[in-house]
Copies of this chain bind each other. A is one copy, B any other.
């Protein structure tokens, strides 16, 4: 991962962000509140973690984890979004997920990375060496349990995605995606549906969408246009979608009979 050398990197250890802790406040970069994964950690535990962390800023498009390379680091994202993907030698790409503020990254078994990770915008994150994380585990077994929870949640998402990729039609995939993105943005109270006319911000290109949903950009575009024609959504601009009828979208997504 020679590319890491090009990064603006602060070697001085600073407090890492495991959910915008210590005070659950708004993000210093964008003002939004990023709920994270390790809220249960105490000040002392965070201070312990901080001793082995480096804070790094990545330019958009930077591939900072490369599939097949030695898995040397774990990451905790503070700000920005990351796409995780696998590629075939002929260029076909499958995005396996997205990571955002508060998320852990690098949960790969084995010696080498199972996927690549690329900054979608300007990304700030904390980096740990694998070895130092192992040392942290010795002192902080609770972190291991946290990570188990994270991994299990990732597995649930992966299984949903397999159902989507293996068995859903293009329209169903788009509808499923819109709703799952609303969940991701915490627009769904208690795991329910987002409110009618919710505005969904999509910091994704159509290409990302296609590579995430196993479609082509043309099919993504056509499916969105069709949902718009049918009055399910409105598309004021490329990166915003208004969910006019979330209930019906949900029925499409789950193929309710």
User: Quick check: A163 and B96 within 8 Å, CB to CB?
Assistant: yes
Contacts of A211 in B (CB 8 A): 166
Contacts of A158 in B (CB 8 A): 96, 155, 158-159, 161-162
Residue A2, interface by CB 8 Å: no
Contacts of A147 in B (CB 8 A): 148
Selected from B114, B152, B160, B166, the residue in CB contact (under 8 A) with A214 is: B166
Binding stretch for chain B, among A84-92, A121-129, A177-185: A84-92
In the assembly, how many copies of this chain are there? Answer: 2
Interchain nearest-CB distance for A181 vs B (Å): 17
Interchain nearest-CB distance for A228 vs B (Å): 24
Q: In the complex, which residues 216-257 of chain A have their Cβ closer than 8 Å to any Cβ of chain B? A: 254-257
User: Quick check: B137 and A94 within 8 Å, CB to CB?
Assistant: no
Q: In the complex, which residues 82-140 of chain A have their Cβ closer than 8 Å to any Cβ of chain B? A: 84, 86, 88-90, 92-94, 96, 107-110, 114-115, 137
Task: Give Cα distance in the complex from A156 to B68, angstroms.
Answer: 12
Selected from B141, B145, B159, B256, the residue in CB contact (under 8 A) with A89 is: B256
Residue A153, interface by CB 8 Å: yes
User: Quick check: B149 and A109 within 8 Å, CB to CB?
Assistant: yes
User: Quick check: B165 and A86 within 8 Å, CB to CB?
Assistant: no
Task: For the A-B complex with A114-B156, A158-B158, A162-B162 known, give 13 more contacts whose Cβ atoms are closer than 8 Å.
Answer: A89-B254, A89-B256, A92-B168, A92-B255, A96-B158, A96-B162, A109-B152, A109-B153, A114-B159, A137-B145, A148-B148, A155-B155, A158-B162
